[in-house]
């Protein structure tokens, strides 16, 4: 019969640590990652909606500890995601965080490591757009997209790797985009940020490979999210005509790929870009 190490405290919404049940053997197993699979600490940026929410729910199925951040104008979508996770009896926490702020991100990850000792998985998912033809694009439009989409990935990755290196274990998955590979009219800023994520992923993967940390990217294509729902019908039809599979992808399909990259099945995979686009880019 197994011993319960964590006990749910529903009043606080967190799991309490049962020190009596945690012996020296358990501690050594945890350090080697044997217990981490059953109770991993997963941080997901942009987790309140769309692909980020789907990633939260996929990791929840393994009973991971979910911590997601968002920067929505209000907490409505974040609370919806939390509500779903709590119904799944999963330990979850949300925080509003500006990932473009180096200091705020560093402080956030320090808090997470102080409370939970480590971060096992980081999913850099936040992404914004600021579309305009280059002739009409303002400097602010360029800077905002690059600062959030690319600098945000740098901020979060830099803040988390120290604890991962200490554990000699970790998974970092960065969400890029098919647009970072093929470009798109009116999205030079977005394409540059997503292409930059790919180069960043490959470089950091080389730096951290000997430390037991894998770094990969997932490049979704046309996915059914709030962002794509805003597209005019003609633009939507144009995208569909370019997809060999003839349909829009679902957030769950991206989430499954992210989860796989964070699993033991992907232990020997690093520095790669996995395309989830129905054949739009091959």
196-224 pLDDT, tens per residue?
A: 999 999 999 999 999 999 999 999 999 99
C-beta neighbour count of 194 within 10 angstroms:
27
Residue 177 DSSP code: -
Cα atoms in the 13 Å half-sphere on the side-chain side of 77: 18
C-alpha 156, offset from chain centre: 10
What's the average model confidence in pLDDT over 111-124?
97
Contacts of 26 by beta carbon, 8 Å cutoff, 6+ apart:
5, 35
Domain boundaries, the chain: 1-35, 39-276
Tell me the backbone φ, ψ of residue 228, rounded to 5 degrees: -80, -25
CB 121, CB 150: distance < 8 Å:
no
Yes or no: say if 184 and 238 are a contact pair by the CB < 8 Å rule. Answer: no
3-state secondary structure 96-128: ECCCCCHHHHHHHHHHHHHHHCCCCEEEECCCC
pLDDT given for residue 235 in this prediction: 78
Per-residue confidence (pLDDT) for residue 38, from 0 to 100: 55
First to last CA, the chain: 50
pLDDT-above-70 percentage for the chain:
87
Question: Which numeric CATH code is attached to 39-276?
Answer: 3.40.50.720
Record the tokens describing residue 198, joined without a space. 């790919």
How far is Cα 118 from Cα 239, in angstroms, rounded to an integer?
Answer: 41
Q: Is the pLDDT of residue 59 over 50?
A: yes
Distance (Å, whole) CA 197 – CA 155? 12
Distance, CA of 94 to CA of 81 (rounded, Å):
9
The Cα–Cα gap between 176 and 183 comes to 12
Q: Which residues contact 272 (CB under 8 A, 6 or more apart)?
A: 216, 217
Assigned token pair, 174: 């960065």
Instruction: Give the distance between the most distant pair of CA atoms in the chain.
Output: 68
Q: In 3-state terms, what secondary structure has residue 276?
A: strand
Would you call 47 helix, strand, or coil by DSSP? coil
Lowest pLDDT segment from 13-27, 174-188, 247-261:
13-27
Q: Active-site residues: which are they?
A: 190
Residue 10 is predicted with a pLDDT of 43
This prediction has a pTM of 0.86
Q: How confident is the model at residue 193 (pLDDT cuts 50, 70, 90)?
A: very high
Cα 110 from Cα 104, distance rounded (Å): 10
The length of the chain is: 282
Buried b / exposed e along 123-153 (16+ C-beta atoms within 10 A)? bbbbbbbbeeeeeebeeebbebbbbbbbbbb
Residue 148's nearest CA partner among 192, 112, 182 is 192
């Amino acid at each position: 019969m197994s011993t319960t190490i964590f006990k749910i405290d529903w009043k606080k919404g967190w799991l309490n640590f049962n020190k009596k049940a945690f012996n020296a053997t358990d501690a050594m197993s945890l350090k080697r990652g044997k217990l981490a699979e059953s109770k991993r600490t997963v941080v997901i940026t942009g987790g309140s909606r769309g692909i980020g929410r789907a990633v939260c729910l996929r990791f929840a199925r393994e009973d991971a500890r979910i911590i997601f951040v968002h920067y929505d104008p209000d907490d409505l979508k974040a609370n919806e995601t939390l509500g779903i996770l709590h119904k799944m009896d999963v330990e979850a926490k949300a925080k509003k965080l500006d990932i473009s702020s180096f200091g705020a991100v560093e402080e956030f990850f320090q808090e997470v490591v102080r409370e939970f000792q480590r971060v096992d998985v980081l999913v850099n998912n936040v992404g914004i757009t600021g579309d305009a033809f280059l002739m009409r694009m303002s400097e602010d439009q360029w800077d905002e997209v690059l600062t959030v989409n690319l600098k945000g990935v740098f901020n979060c990755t830099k803040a988390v790797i120290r604890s991962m290196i200490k554990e000699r274990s970790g998974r970092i998955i960065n969400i890029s985009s098919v647009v970072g590979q093929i470009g798109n009219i009116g999205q030079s800023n977005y394409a540059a940020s997503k292409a930059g994520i790919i180069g960043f992923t490959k470089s950091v993967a080389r730096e951290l490979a000997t430390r037991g940390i894998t770094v990969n990217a997932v490049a979704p294509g046309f996915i059914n999210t709030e962002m794509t729902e805003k597209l005019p019908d003609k633009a939507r039809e144009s995208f569909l005509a370019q997809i060999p599979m003839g349909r829009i992808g679902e957030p769950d399909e991206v989430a499954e790929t992210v989860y796989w990259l964070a699993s033991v099945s992907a232990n020997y995979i690093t520095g790669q870009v996995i395309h989830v686009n129905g054949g739009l880019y091959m």
